[in-house]
Amino acid sequence: MNQAEFHFPMPAQALAPQQLTAPRLPADDEPLDFSDAAAAGQCAYTVRFLDYPHPTADIVKVAEQRFRRELERHLGDDVLRAQRAYVSVSEASEADLTKEEVILATRWVKAYDAARTAGYRDLGDTDEAYFDVRAI
C-alpha cells in the first residue's frame, strides 16, 4: 500500500442496503418516568477548588471530594438552603431575617470551615486557594 492508497482509499464493493429493524422490547418493559427528576435536580450543586498554585487534576479532585463529603456530613440535604441563608444573612439587615435563616447560616459557617479543613488536608501551600459551591 502506498501513501495515495492509504490517504485516498478506493471504495470497496458496494453492498446492497439492508433494512434495519427496531429491537423488540419485552411486553412488561415500560418507558422510564422522569417526572420527579426536576425535584431531584433542585438540590444538585458543584464544588470547585480554585486558585490552588499546584493544580494537578488528581489532587484537586480528591480535595473537592473530601470537601463535599464533609459538607454533606454536616448539612445533609440542606447544603444549598444553608448557603442561601448565609448569603441572605450577610446581605440583609437583622430585622429582615427569620430565625431559621440565622440558624442555617450558622450551620453553614461551621460546616464550611470543617469541610475546608478536610479539603486542605495534605495539600501544603493553600494561601489563595478556596472552594466554590454553586447550584447547578
Looking at the domain assignment, is residue 27 inside a domain?
Answer: no
Range of the domain at 107: 62-136
Looking at the domain assignment, is residue 132 inside a domain?
Answer: yes
Looking at the domain assignment, is residue 15 inside a domain?
Answer: no
pLDDT in the model for residue 52: 87
Looking at the domain assignment, is residue 95 inside a domain?
Answer: yes
Looking at the domain assignment, is residue 48 inside a domain?
Answer: no
Looking at the domain assignment, is residue 69 inside a domain?
Answer: yes
Looking at the domain assignment, is residue 104 inside a domain?
Answer: yes
- Average pLDDT of the residues in 118-131: 87
Which range, of 54-63, 112-121, 127-136, averages the lowest pLDDT?
Answer: 54-63
Looking at the domain assignment, is residue 40 inside a domain?
Answer: no
Q: Please spell the DSSP secondary structure of the chain, one letter per residue.
A: --HHHHHSPPPPPPPPP----PPPPPTT-PPP--TTHHHHHTT-EEEEEES-SS--HHHHHHHHHHHHHHHHHHHGGGHHHHHHHHHHHHHS-GGG--HHHHHHHHHHHHHHHHHHHHHHTT----SS-EEEEEE-
Dump pLDDT digits (tens) for 35-60.
655 554 445 899 999 988 887 888 89
Q: What is the pTM for the complete model shown?
A: 0.66
pLDDT in the model for residue 41: 45
Total domain count for the chain?
Answer: 1
